[in-house]
Structure 1
Amino acid sequence: MNVEEIIKTEKELPLKTRTMIHFALVSNKISEQFALALKPYEVSEQQFNVLRILRGQNNKPANLSTINERMVTKMSNTTRLVDKLIAKGYVKRWVCESNRRKVEILITDKGKTILEKIDKTMEGAEKEILKNFTAKELTELNILLDKF
């Protein structure tokens, strides 16, 4: 099927269906761009998200439940993500002294340093992804997306 046929077929779809297809396509495109930007750091989108959550704790430890609640992509393998970040030296984990069932996780200085580098790369990726939008259009888009 060539591009013209795809466009014609798409226009024949109900508006709600076309909208959902566009959401899926945009979501995939963003994930691809983020994965490409994160590849040199050998960090996945989910690991990046965990690092940002931990940095946002402002030197206070978080537990797995807190991390999972704040994840952009909810998943059950948060423990595995943390284990991979521990292996890289980006986070540390220990058992809470006051509650032995609670595990606390904190970003390390090494994690903060790599996150600063990643932030710069991700800013570039975001700029590239959003290059065709004006500030006004982005504001309008965010208003519409807030309806979710």
Structure 2
Amino acid sequence: MKIEDEIHQKHFRNEHQKAAVNLIYTHSWLTTRIKQFLSRFDITMQQFNVLRILRGQHPGSISTSVIRDRMLDHNSDASRIVDRLHRQGLVDKEPCPSDRRLVDVRISDKGMKLLTSIDQQHEQIDNFLGKLSEQDAQELNRLLDKIRDLEV
């Protein structure tokens, strides 16, 4: 459905404003669907993001400050997210030997199994963008990268 019909707004200042509104609206649309999908696994999008970051480090560990820098949502409280994941048994954490103020975090076997379960249903997440061909998705990625490359 066209953005004009979705938000009941027919006039935009220009195509750039329309594109910005469309990106914001589509972000919310996609986020809602991903949250619904992940709720079946009893984790949030931020927790999923942290687990994916830690899987990329496996079998090593990284500090919460590195996790924070790599998160998609830089406003998230990585320490609190890690604490929740630790209580669920999805990550292991220990004080950093070189700096006791830091905590080293590692994905646990239970966390790896959870990600494997989610990965087995990846087609459901892929289907959120299923109307795009592989070429469309490449072009969308190229355009989104181009937007972020702009100097403001």
Fold agreement, TM-score > 0.5: yes
Q: TM-score, normalised by structure 1?
A: 0.89
AA aligned to 1:45 is: M
Task: State the partner residue of 2:130.
Answer: 131
Task: Measure the CA separation in 2 of the matches of 1:107 and 1:95.
Answer: 15
Q: Deviations over 1:23-76 (max 9, x none)?
A: 011101110111011011110000000000001002111101110011011125
Q: Structure 1: which 5+ runs fail to align?
A: none
Task: State the partner residue of 1:21.
Answer: 21
AA aligned to 2:133 is: T
Using CA pairs below 8 Å that are at least 6 residues apart, which structure has the higher relative contact order? Answer: 1
Q: How many residues align?
A: 144
Task: Measure the CA separation in 1 of the matches of 2:39 and 2:6.
Answer: 34
Task: State the partner residue of 2:83.
Answer: 83
Report if aligned partners of 1:34, 1:125 keep a CA contact under 8 Å in 2: no
Task: State the partner residue of 1:142.
Answer: 141
CA-atom RMSD in angstroms:
2.0
Q: Structure 2: which 5+ runs fail to align?
A: none
Task: Measure the CA separation in 1 of the matches of 2:79 and 2:140.
Answer: 34
Q: Work out whether 1:59 is the aligned partner of 2:59.
A: yes
Q: TM-score, normalised by structure 2?
A: 0.86
Matched residues, percent identical? Answer: 31
Task: Measure the CA separation in 1 of the matches of 2:46 and 2:76.
Answer: 12
Task: Measure the CA separation in 1 of the matches of 2:31 and 2:6.
Answer: 26
